[in-house]
């Protein structure tokens, strides 16, 4: 009865089914503890209650099930300590799967399991801090997942020298150290988020998925790319956040099955090799390296690309027209923090699936194309995307796309939530002209950043139609006029900045615009809350109303000059005669004495009353 909508508890009467051999209730909403009567099912060979909401402990009664071959308790809420007794009679066990629970297993260091498993999945158990020695006695092991198991140890050489032929090994999210010379695994390896060092390991030629992210592997790619996997069926290669150096070798022609390549956050240099464009990639991420040169025209053949992230490098030249003409499936395009120049090509407007566009921090000039309104994925409501890859049928893990985005005034990495984001960033370039009113049709856009350019004119009233907008930054431009009243409809704004422009008038009243600090409005001629500067009856700030000049510096200078002159004339007009003419001075002090006397009498009178 797997993968239905069953709920409630496992009843204790399950123990009455003495001949029951297979019990599968996986993928339901069953909660509560596992009943102890399970231990009475002497004929049970398969017990699968994975992907439910079972809680409580792992019952000792499982140790009585001498016929049990498959035990799958994965993805529940079981907790507590597991002992050797739980497995004492499980001599026929071939599958032990209980990942994603909160269980702790600390057997005696000399313990030899009574079983010979082919599959062991104990991810998110607490097995450390030492690497579990009992695995050394598993001679038939082909699938091993002990990820996120609290292991802080050197990877033992015996593990990868076992006589068994591994299909899948997942040791990710531990604190394993040391170097690895060879990985004898046929399909999937995940060693990510450890502390491995040394050169990249040699791998089995038929390996399909290799994930070495977040380690300290060093050296060059040439051995792995050009020799170890030259003719292999590799589909996913992820070696981001390591210490790789040198150039990316130009020998990718035989990697035709590769769909995901992530080499971000290394120390790679040189140009993108032309042969990389001959692949049928879905994802290419070279972010945060030291690469340079123009983009090779061969990349236009990667027509399946949904994500192209080349940000934070030293790439140069103009943004190629073929990006819009050939890469029509792009959903994420980030060329941020490079040296791209020239005008934005009109062809880029053909990217109707684009959800994230980041061209910030370059030297791009010219006007913002009006045809940006063609980005239909930013304009039309669509299903939330889930940028997730399942590795294969033997893996329960998923690989999420991630992107480093500047939203809401800060830089954050978006992974599992990336499919919720729609954003456009053209900040810190040399864009000129007015903000196209056509941008207002992108009503599904959550973030728009046009700051740090040379944009002029009024802010289009149509921007107020983007009612889902959460972050809007138009600061450090030369915009003038008033903040459009339609901005009062932007009820989801939590980051807003129009500072250092030439804006005038009253800040529109809304639930959001008054919640931002004055720094969001500084460097303009605005008035009204949240600023302390009041507005005149016509809605202009007092300094604008009192001075017709458009020059802020001119207004401020004449204001202070008039204040100083008034002070000098008034002060010395009164003080000078008193200082130089004795009769005036005496008369002044007699007058003060007279006023003081009257005040004293009046005060005494009120005291008596």
The SS3 of residue 81 is strand
- Give the Cα separation of 528 and 534 in Å (integer): 5
Listed in sequence order, the residues at least 6 apart from 492 whose beta carbon sits closer than 8 Å to its beta carbon are 467, 468, 469, 470, 512
5: Cα within 13 Å, side-chain hemisphere: 0
Q: Which of 149, 146, 86, 153 is nearest to 121 (CA)?
A: 146
pLDDT at 455: 97
pLDDT at 476: 97
342: Cα within 13 Å, side-chain hemisphere: 11
Provide the 10 A C-beta neighbour count for residue 48. 19
The DSSP secondary-structure symbol of 541 reads B
517: Cα within 13 Å, side-chain hemisphere: 1
DSSP result, 301-340: G-TT-SEEE--SSEEEEEPPTHHHHH-TT-SEEE--SSEE
Listed in sequence order, the residues at least 6 apart from 107 whose beta carbon sits closer than 8 Å to its beta carbon are 83, 84, 132, 134
- Give the Cα separation of 373 and 354 in Å (integer): 11
Listed in sequence order, the residues at least 6 apart from 572 whose beta carbon sits closer than 8 Å to its beta carbon are none
pLDDT mean for each 10 residues of the chain (609 residues)? 94 88 95 92 94 94 92 95 92 95 91 95 94 93 95 91 85 95 91 96 90 96 83 86 96 88 96 92 96 95 95 96 94 96 95 95 96 92 68 62 80 82 95 95 94 96 92 96 93 94 93 90 93 76 50 43 56 54 50 43 33
pLDDT at 563: 57
Q: Which of 332, 322, 288, 321 is nearest to 302 (CA)?
A: 322
Provide the 10 A C-beta neighbour count for residue 110. 7
Burial 5-43 (b: 16+ CB within 10 A, else e): eeeeebeeebbeeeebeebebbbbebbeebbebbbbbee
pLDDT at 255: 86
- Give the Cα separation of 142 and 34 in Å (integer): 29
Residue 273 burial class via C-beta count within 10 angstroms: exposed 0-12, middle 13-18, buried 19 and up:
middle
- Listed by start position, the domains of the chain span 572-600
SS3 content of the chain, % helix, strand, coil (to 5): 25, 30, 50
pLDDT at 569: 62
**Nearest-10 Cα torsion for 423, 426, 428, 432:** -150
- CA 203 to chain CA centroid, Å, is 31
**Nearest-10 Cα torsion for 463, 414, 454, 312:** -160
pLDDT at 173: 96
């Amino acid at each position: 009865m797997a993968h239905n909508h069953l709920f409630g508890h496992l009843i204790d009467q399950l123990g009455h089914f003495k001949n029951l051999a297979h019990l599968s209730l996986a993928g339901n909403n069953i909660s509560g503890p596992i009943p102890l009567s399970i231990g009475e099912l002497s004929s049970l060979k398969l017990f699968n209650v994975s992907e439910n909401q079972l809680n409580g402990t792992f019952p000792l009664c499982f140790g009585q099930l001498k016929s049990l071959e498959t035990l799958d308790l994965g993805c529940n809420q079981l907790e507590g300590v597991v002992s050797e007794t739980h497995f004492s009679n499980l001599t026929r066990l071939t599958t032990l799967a209980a990942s994603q629970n909160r269980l702790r297993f600390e057997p005696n260091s000399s313990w030899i399991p009574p079983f010979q498993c082919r599959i062991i999945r104990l991810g998110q158990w607490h097995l450390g801090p030492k690497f579990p020695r009992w695995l050394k006695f598993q001679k038939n092991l082909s699938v091993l997942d002990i990820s996120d198991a609290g292991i802080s140890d050197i990877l033992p050489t015996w593990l990868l020298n076992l006589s068994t032929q591994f299909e899948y090994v997942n040791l990710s999210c531990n604190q394993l150290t040391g170097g690895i010379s060879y990985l004898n695994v046929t399909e999937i390896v995940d060693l990510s988020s450890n502390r491995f060092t040394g050169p990249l390991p040699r791998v089995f030629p038929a390996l399909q998925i290799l994930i070495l992210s977040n380690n300290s592997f060093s050296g060059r790619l040439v051995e792995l790319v050009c020799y170890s996997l030259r003719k292999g069926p590799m589909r996913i290669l992820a070696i981001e956040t390591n210490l790789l150096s040198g150039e990316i070798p130009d020998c990718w022609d035989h990697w035709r099955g590769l769909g995901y390549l992530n080499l971000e956050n290394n120390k790679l240099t040189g140009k993108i090799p032309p042969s990389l464009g001959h692949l049928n990639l879905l994802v290419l991420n070279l972010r945060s390296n030291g690469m340079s040169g123009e983009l090779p025209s061969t990349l236009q053949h990667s027509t399946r690309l949904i994500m192209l992230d080349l940000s934070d490098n030293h790439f140069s030249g103009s943004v190629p027209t073929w990006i819009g003409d050939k890469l029509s499936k792009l959903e994420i395009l980030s060329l941020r923090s490079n040296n791209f120049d020239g005008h934005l090509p009109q062809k880029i407007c053909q990217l109707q699936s684009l959800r994230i566009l980041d061209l910030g921090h370059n030297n791009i000039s010219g006007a913002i194309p009006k045809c940006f309104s063609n980005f239909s994925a930013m304009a039309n409501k669509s299903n939330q995307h889930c940028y997730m890859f399942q590795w294969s049928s033997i893996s329960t893990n998923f690989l999420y796309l991630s992107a480093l985005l500047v939203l809401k005034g800060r830089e954050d990495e978006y992974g599992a939530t990336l499919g919720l984001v729609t954003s456009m960033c053209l900040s810190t370039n040399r864009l000129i002209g007015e903000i196209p009113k056509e941008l207002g049709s992108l009503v599904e856009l959550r973030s728009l950043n046009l700051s740090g350019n040379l944009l002029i004119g009024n802010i289009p009233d149509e921007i107020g139609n983007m009612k889902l907008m959460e972050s809007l930054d138009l600061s450090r431009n030369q915009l003038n006029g008033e903040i459009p009243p339609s901005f009062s409809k932007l009820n989801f704004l939590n980051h807003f900045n129009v500072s250092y422009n030439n804006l005038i008038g009253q800040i529109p009243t809304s639930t959001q615009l008054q919640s931002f600090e004055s720094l969001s409005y500084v460097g303009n001629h605005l008035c009204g809350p949240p600023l302390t500067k009041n507005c005149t009856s016509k809605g202009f700030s007092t300094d604008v109303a009192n001075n017709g000049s458009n020059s802020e510096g001119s207004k401020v200078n004449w204001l202070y000059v008039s204040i100083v002159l008034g002070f000098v004339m008034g002060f010395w007009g009164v003080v000078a005669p008193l200082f130089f003419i004795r009769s005036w001075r005496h008369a002044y002090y007699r007058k003060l004495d007279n006023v003081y006397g009257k005040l004293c009498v009046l005060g005494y009178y009120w005291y008596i009353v």
